[in-house]
Amino acid sequence: MIKVGIINVTGYIGMEIARLLYGHPGVKLTSVTGRSAAGQKLGQFLPHLAAIDLTIEEELGSVDLAFSALPHKNSATACAAVLERGIKVIDVSADFRLKDASQYRTWYEHEHPAPKLLKEVVYGLVELNRKHIAASRLVANPGCYPTGAILALAPAVKAGIIEPDIIVDSKSGVSGAGRALSLKTHFAEVDENVFAYSIEGHRHLPEIVQGLTALNSKWSLSVTFVPHLIPMNRGILSTCYAKLADASFDKKKVVDIYKEFYKGERFVKVVDAPPQTKQTLGTNFCFIYPTVDTRTGRLIVVSCIDNLIKGGAGQAVQSMNLMLGFPEATALESLAIYP
């Protein structure tokens, strides 16, 4: 059994990684940290994980691979220290997602703590970077919004069938904001309410642009990204719009391109009807529905993911499986929780 650890198990993504690893036949979770809960049994602090017999530590023990679920700004420093110990790392924070340190400074208002590592980090969107992830020692787990948006648009961008002016409209459950207390995620503020936020520029925007540009470097992309908070626990629905470059493209041609692009993929499915967030709840699946508005000549793509699984912990475990030589879908085969 390969030994695995989680730095900061007390956040939503950290605890979901622990839950998924519990059912993994090839790895054993042997070390978890969380300074606010250090010294407590994991099941005492997080009763739903009581079956995992571990004590929460202040520092990571001896492991072969670690997940860092610390907040951005803190995670990069921890990852660098773990790498120096010869341990492979998957960082689920935002610290290594942007390849340009100046972009990180602009969007996260902080100097990058480990800029030298940006040269070797691999962006952990498995369906697009599978071979590089398998050979890497440091993987940056994608953000939840970028996962849904990039997977929705990747086939169209790669094939060059749309104009480079793109709109991404995303709606997320409240868990995407994490466990930290804030007014905007207070029950009385969120319940029976929907609102847009970060309209002038969300931190995930440059990550979306970076991911799509990598698929078609000839383009100068213009992306408008507007996130919304929805009164539900988890899930992201993204609706993406772009003008078709060739007016002769109909829905069938577009769907054929999408199905060919994702042919053989276990966790990305091109579906026949607009997907719903309930259909991916608790799973590592991304459902994608491409169609064409013939009146305007515009491509419309809808994608659905669980922000904590395909948009977080599940995708991280998917990368871990590649890095450690396990079948990619190991411990990730669960179907949706419905209703």
Asked if 146 and 170 count as a contact pair (C-beta separation under 8 A), the reply is no
Active-site pick, 144, 240, 286, 304:
144
- Non-local (6+) Cβ contacts of 207 within 8 A are 94, 97, 98, 142, 143, 146
Distance separating alpha carbons of residues 115 and 328, to the nearest angstrom = 30
Pairing outcome for strands 65-68 and 88-91: parallel
Q: Phi and psi dihedrals of 184, rounded to 5? A: -70, -15
Distance separating alpha carbons of residues 311 and 71, to the nearest angstrom = 16
Task: Return the structure tokens found at 221.
Answer: 């992309």
Asked if 4 and 66 count as a contact pair (C-beta separation under 8 A), the reply is yes
Pairing outcome for strands 286-293 and 298-305: antiparallel
Helix (H, G, I), strand (E, B) or coil at 252: helix
- Non-local (6+) Cβ contacts of 20 within 8 A are 309, 313, 314, 317, 331, 332
Q: Which residues pair with 66 in a beta bridge?
A: 5, 89
Active-site residue flag, 79: no
Distance separating alpha carbons of residues 29 and 2, to the nearest angstrom = 9
* CA pseudo-torsion sign 206, 211, 216, 217: positive
Active-site residue list:
144
